[in-house]
Amino acid sequence: MAESNLTGRVVGIDLGTTNSLVAYMQGDAPMVIPGVDGSNLVPSVVALDPVSAEGGRPTVTVGNTARKALIETPERVIYSVKRLMGRGLDEIQSELRLFPFRLADDIEAGEVPRIRLGELKFTPPEISAYILRQLKRNAERFFGAPVTQAVITVPAYFNDAQRQATKDAGRMAGLEVLRLVNEPTAAALAYGLDRAKVGTIAVYDLGGGTFDISILKLRDGIFEVQSTNGDTHLGGDDIDNLLLAIALDEIHAEHGVDLRGHPGAVQALRKAAIDAKISLSSDDVARFDIELPNGDRYQREIPRAVFEVLIEPVLERTAGPCKQALADAGITPEQIDEVVLVGGSTRIPAVRQLVDDLFHLTARGKKPHIDLNPDEVVALGAAVQADILAGASKTTEEMLLLDVTPLSLGIEALGGAVARIIQRNSTIPASATEHFTTGVDGQTNVAIHVVQGERELAADCRSLARFDLRGIPPMSAGLPRIEVKFLIDADGILKVTAREQRSGQAAKIEVKPTYGLTDEQVESMILDSFDHAEEDFAKRLLIEARNEADTILAAVDRAPQSPAWAQLTSVEQVAISAASSRLEAIKAGEDAKAIRDATLALDQATRRFAELMMDAAVSSAITGKTMGAADEDLGEAVTAPHPMAAAEFK
C-alpha cells in the first residue's frame, strides 16, 4: 500500500482476551458501536459451525453465537486466543495446561502454532482476524459504508512478536492498521478528553488475561508516557482458574467424579466459577450449586474473605510492576495525581484496595477514577486515537500521544551477554545505530541476534529475530564497517536497515523472525478476497437489511394476539398493516436502503403498540407479579456488563 486512504472513517478497536469492542468518534465524544444483537461487547470467542456452507469451508461464527456453542461443541470453539498471539510452541506449554487449546499435531519447530477447530486448523492471528472481521462488519452495518482503517489496542507490555501478530490479524481481516495503541494509554486518552490539563496519572489495567501499569504526564493535550510495566499473562482468567481448580478437586474428592476429561462439563463449571467471582464483587458470599453428570449435587459456599485470601497471590503479582513503573518514572506514589482503573477485574474490591494501598489514595483523600465503564474505556480511547490519526477534528487536534517501548532492545554479544541498545521506557519512535565488523579475513556475512527483555543473558531474554548481514565486500578482518540502524516505530515494532560504510554498499539483510508469520503467509491467510470488496459489501448490507426486516415482520405477525392490540385505534391498526405489506413488497427487491427505510417506517408505525405492551408489563408488576417476572416481560434485565452468560447446567 503506497498511499493511504485519505477519506473514510477510522475506527478504534479493543481486541481483548475476553471481549472485543469497536468504537468511533461521534462528534466530540467517543461511542461504542453495538452489534446486531444490540450488545456493545463481542465476546472474543470463535466457533466453527458444524454445517458446511456451500463454499466447502464450514462457516465461522464469532461472539455471543459462538459462545453458546462452548458447552455443546467445545471442540469447535476457541476463546482467550490473545494468550497465544505472537508466541512460539515452547512458550505456550503453560497455557495448554489451563486452557482447552487443541494444538495441531504436525507443527514443526519454529512454526507459528496452529489450533484445531473441528476439522480445520488456524493460527492465532487468523482466529483474531475473524473477531476483527466481525467488528469491522458491525461498524459497516452501523455506518452503512465500508470501513477499511483502524486503530487496534494491545497490552502495553506486548513484545514485538505479539504486536506484529496483532497487525497481521488486522491485515487478514481487511483492515489497514493505522496504529497499534497501548491499552492503558488508550484509557488515559478516553479520560483525558475532559480532564485537568496538567498532571501525572497512573493507569492500572487488569483485564481478562493481561496486566499493565502505565504512568503518564499530561500537559496541554500532550500525553507523555513516562514508564510502563506489566505481565502479559496475568488477569481475571487466572482467578477463574483458581476457583475452577478448587471445584474440580473437590468434586473429584467428594463425589468421585473427575470432570477434567469432559470439556463441556469443565466449560459449564468455568462459567459457574466466573459467576461466583463476579457476584463476590457485590455480595459477601457466592454459592456453587451444580448438578453433576451422575446426578449428585456439588454445593459450596465461598465467602468473600476466603476468596480474597485465595486470590491474594494473583493480585500481589501486580504490585511489583507498579513499583518498578514508579521507580522508572523517577517518582513516588504521592506524586501520582490521579489513578485510572481499567479492565473488568478492577471491579473486584480487593483489587481496588490494593491500588489504594499502592498509591496511598485514601490517605491523600483521593479516589481512583472508575466513571467510565472499565470494559469500554479502552475502546473509547482507541476511538479518540483514531480521530487524532484521521486528522481534521477540532476535538482532538491539540491531542498527541507520546508512548514508550515497554522492553529493552539488545543484541547478543560475545559470550551470550546482552548489549542493550534501546532502553525500556524510551519514547517511540526510537532508534539506535551500532557498528559491526568481521572477525575473519574475507568474511562476507555477519549474524546479529536481537533480543527483547531486561535480563543480562541473551538466553534469558526473548529472542526477537536473527539478522544475517550478507554481501559484505571481502576485506581483512576488522576492516569492514557495517552500520546497522535499529528503529522501533510508533507501533512498537522493530525495523532494521544496514549499510557497509567503507565500500558504501548497502548490505543485504536477511531477517528471520524467531516467531511470527512471513509476509507471504499473511497474504495467503487474508480472509476475504478484495477483488469484489464493493460488490460483497453491497450484498452483505442487503442480507442484513432483509434479516432486520424479517425480525420486525415476525413481531408484527404476532401482534393481534396481544391484548395491547385491541387498545389501538382502527386507524393505527390499518397504518401498521399498510407499513407491514409495504415492507414485505420492498424486501423482495435489491435495494438495501429502501428496505431499511421501510423497516424504519414500520417501526415508527408500531411505536404506540410497543408502548402499550410495555405499560401492560409494568402494571402487571405493580399488581402483584414479582419484579423478576416483570423483567422477563420487559426483555433483558438491566445488569452490569458480563463477560460470560449465566451458567447453564443440564
Partner 1 sequence: MLNVLDSAVPVACWSCSVAHNDSTLFCPHCSKIQPAAAGDYFRVFGLERGFQIDLAALEREFHGLSRKVHPDRFARSSETERELSLADTALLNDAYRTLKDPLHRTEYLLKLEGAQIGEEFAGKDSLEARKGQKDPSRVPADLLEEVFELNMQLEEMRMARKMGEEDPQLQADLQQAQKKFEGLLAAVDKDLRAQWQVWDAGDTSVRQAAQKTMVDLIDRRRYLSNLLRDVTETLGA
> What is the set of active-site residues?
14, 82, 183, 205
Spatial distance between the Cα atoms of 134 and 62, rounded to a whole number of angstroms: 7
- Among 147, 152, 389, 469, the residue binding partner 1 under the rule CB under 8 A is 389
- Among 434, 454, 572, 584, the residue binding partner 1 under the rule CB under 8 A is 434
Q: Which residues contact 177 (CB under 8 A, 6 or more apart)?
A: 150, 151, 152, 166, 167, 170, 171, 491
- Among 39, 73, 279, 431, the residue binding partner 1 under the rule CB under 8 A is 431
The region of 114-122, 320-328, 410-418, 616-624 touching partner 1 under the rule CB under 8 A is 410-418
Q: Which residues contact 432 (CB under 8 A, 6 or more apart)?
A: 409, 421, 422, 485, 486
CB of 356 to partner 1, least distance (A): 25
Spatial distance between the Cα atoms of 199 and 338, rounded to a whole number of angstroms: 8
The contact mask relative to partner 1 for 146-165 (x = CB under 8 A, - = no) is ---x----------------
CB of 485 to partner 1, least distance (A): 9
Residue corresponding to grid cell 508512548: 403
Query: Residue 542 CB: number of other CB atoms within 10 A?
Result: 17
The contact mask relative to partner 1 for 172-201 (x = CB under 8 A, - = no) is ------xx----------------------
The region of 76-84, 113-121, 305-313, 428-436 touching partner 1 under the rule CB under 8 A is 428-436
Our finding on whether 5 is near partner 1 (CB under 8 A) is yes
The region of 63-71, 101-109, 208-216, 397-405 touching partner 1 under the rule CB under 8 A is 397-405
CB of 393 to partner 1, least distance (A): 12
Spatial distance between the Cα atoms of 445 and 266, rounded to a whole number of angstroms: 53
CB of 436 to partner 1, least distance (A): 6
- Among 285, 402, 525, 616, the residue binding partner 1 under the rule CB under 8 A is 402
The contact mask relative to partner 1 for 213-232 (x = CB under 8 A, - = no) is ------xx-x-x--------
Our finding on whether 332 is near partner 1 (CB under 8 A) is no
99 DSSP 8-state letter = S
Report CA-CA distances (Å) from 396 to 46, 168, 190, 192, 453: 35, 28, 11, 11, 34
Our finding on whether 618 is near partner 1 (CB under 8 A) is no
Alpha helices in 256-348 (DSSP H): 263-279, 304-316, 319-329
CB of 473 to partner 1, least distance (A): 16
Longest dimension (CA), the chain: 100
The region of 67-75, 398-406, 521-529, 547-555 touching partner 1 under the rule CB under 8 A is 398-406
Our finding on whether 419 is near partner 1 (CB under 8 A) is yes
Our finding on whether 414 is near partner 1 (CB under 8 A) is yes
Our finding on whether 400 is near partner 1 (CB under 8 A) is yes
Closer CB to partner 1, 415 or 624, in the complex:
415
Spatial distance between the Cα atoms of 255 and 242, rounded to a whole number of angstroms: 20
The region of 282-290, 291-299, 356-364, 416-424 touching partner 1 under the rule CB under 8 A is 416-424
Our finding on whether 461 is near partner 1 (CB under 8 A) is no
Amino acid at residue number 543: I
Our finding on whether 429 is near partner 1 (CB under 8 A) is yes
- Among 490, 526, 594, 630, the residue binding partner 1 under the rule CB under 8 A is 490
Spatial distance between the Cα atoms of 443 and 437, rounded to a whole number of angstroms: 9
Alpha helices in 256-397 (DSSP H): 263-279, 304-316, 319-329, 349-358, 377-390
Residue corresponding to grid cell 526477537: 464
- 74 preceded by a cis bond (ω within 30 of 0): no
Query: What is the grid cell recorded at 594?
Result: 429502501
Size of the site for partner 1 (CB under 8 A): 43
How does 11-37 read in b/e, with b if 16+ C-beta sit within 10 Å?
Answer: bbbbbbbbbbbbbbbeeeebbbbbbbe
Binding site for partner 1 (CB under 8 A): 2-6, 10, 149, 178-179, 219-220, 222, 224, 385, 388-391, 400-402, 413-415, 417, 419-420, 426-432, 434-437, 478, 481, 487, 489-490
